[in-house]
Amino acid sequence: MRSVIIISLKESISLIWKSKSWLLALVIIQIGFFAAVFMVSNAYLPKVLENAQSMSAYISAQNFDEASMTERVLQQKDILGEDPAALTKYFDGVVENFRIYLVYIFVFILVFSSLLWSMTHKITDKLNLKQSMRNFYIILAILLFYLGLIFLFFYLLLNISFSEAVLQGSKIFIKYAPFLVFSVILAYFMFISLALPHKGEIKQVVQKTLAVGIRKAHYILAVYSINLLLAVLFIFLMAYFIDRNFFIVILSIISFIFSFVFARIFIASVVKNLESIE
């Protein structure tokens, strides 16, 4: 395992060094993705938080002790207080805004990832313009399949009324836990599918994805761990030096963005090498 990982690391560094102009383009597009996510997050997450805080404030203002609840029942009053409709309104506000937010994130990931991965393969597989365009559409189809299923799970999770949420309580998470596990598994195989050299038909992508993802899982998990460790390291450096050293913070932000570009090239190199030793 060590030899494949080390060889792929060396190849990735060499490819990055030889493709500086494409690397710069990848970094700029990656910045564009983060900027788009930041803008939509700034537009919708405050609304989600505002409604959540209103829900919390309303609940905090009510007495939900046993004596108060019993008194409300005896007086035939709503156990949720004087204005239960407000809770439903706030809950619907959280769900609706977060649902719209997810739609935007889905579109951003779909478009930017298709572009970033097709450009990554131009570097790793030395593709011409025609091959890169074909590769873009294959990657788009792959992302539509994987992300579509993952997005559908989260969208269905949010397709719930306040009364259903209250009645089911913690059972909601138990009910949807298998779908969450399924989404993690999909994400695992998705990056393998994206990293494959797409020289054949879609059905070959499926076969190769399963072959590499199952038989070479220890390699793939090692690559994922290295990439995750790099991203976490730069996040830690940003957080630690934010009030200590502005230069290191800026350097950490640039390195964090670059880590995503490197991660794609590294995964593509590893998968390519794994295919050659099948």
CA distances from 150 to 53, 103, 144, 185 (A): 28, 12, 10, 10
Domain locations along the chain = 2-276
Contacts of 137 (CB under 8 A, 6+ apart): none
Give the pLDDT confidence score for residue 265 in this predicted structure: 94
Global pTM reads 0.84
Give the pLDDT confidence score for residue 66 in this predicted structure: 57
Give the pLDDT confidence score for residue 235 in this predicted structure: 92
Give the pLDDT confidence score for residue 178 in this predicted structure: 81
pLDDT, tens only, 210-222: 889 999 999 999 9
pLDDT, tens only, 145-171: 999 998 888 777 777 666 566 555 556
Degrees (nearest 5) of the Cα angle 115, 44, 153?
A: 65
Give the pLDDT confidence score for residue 260 in this predicted structure: 94
Give the pLDDT confidence score for residue 94 in this predicted structure: 86
> Would you state the structure tokens that stand for residue 165, as one six-digit string?
């949420």
Give the pLDDT confidence score for residue 253 in this predicted structure: 92
Nearest to 259 by CA among 276, 234, 242: 234
> Would you state the structure tokens that stand for residue 31, as one six-digit string?
């910045």
Give the chain's length. 278
245, 253 in Cβ contact below 8 A? no
220, 192 in Cβ contact below 8 A? yes
Positions of the chain with pLDDT lower than 50, given as ranges: none
